[in-house]
Amino acid sequence: MAEAREDSFWDLLAEVARLQDRMGKDTVAWARVYEAAGEALQQNAETTALMAEVGRRSEQFARTGPPAAARQAMQFFLNPMQAFGAAGAGTPLPPSPLTRFWEAWLSERERGTSGGGEAG
């Protein structure tokens, strides 16, 4: 009879070890899930930060237009002879297409802001 009790105790201990092993594997699996979720959150934060930066830059571009260097480069490609000064120093030149575009854009924008909420 004493031997039967010892066998049942060791069987119980073996079952506890098996359950602890299974619980450890489950914990590792959950840790991997949490790690993947944490990495996804970090990448989402990076994407959101990039979206905020693009939004700020877009808003600034909508208010002020392209930077002077970009305007100068576009002017060079639209009117290369004027950029090299081929028309002469005292000769007034007609406005370039880019200049006309920006003037029209600015005037339309000014009309939109001072027009009292006219939507287009």
Would you list the domain boundaries of the chain?
A: 2-82
- Mean of per-residue pLDDT scores for the chain: 81
Give pTM, 2 decimals.
0.42
pLDDT average, residue stretch 19-36? 96
Asked whether the predicted pLDDT for residue 111 surpasses 90, the reply is no
Nearest to 109 by CA among 73, 39, 61: 61
pLDDT at 86: 63
pLDDT band at 120 (very low <50, low <70, confident <90, very high): very low
Please indicate whether residue 117 or residue 25 has the higher confidence score (pLDDT).
Answer: 25
56 touches 67 (CB < 8 A): no
pLDDT at 115: 56
Q: Which residues of 29-67 are buried (b: 16+ CB within 10 A; e: fewer)?
A: eeeeeeeeeeeeeeeeeeeeeeeeeeeeeeeeeeeeeee
Among the residues of the chain, which ranges form H helices?
Answer: 2-64, 68-78, 80-83, 97-114
Q: DSSP assignment, residue 95?
A: P
Tokens of 30: 């959950």
Please indicate whether residue 66 or residue 7 has the higher confidence score (pLDDT).
Answer: 66
- Amino acid sitting at position 21: D
- Residues in CB range of 104: below 8 A, 6 or more apart: none
Asked whether the predicted pLDDT for residue 22 surpasses 80, the reply is yes
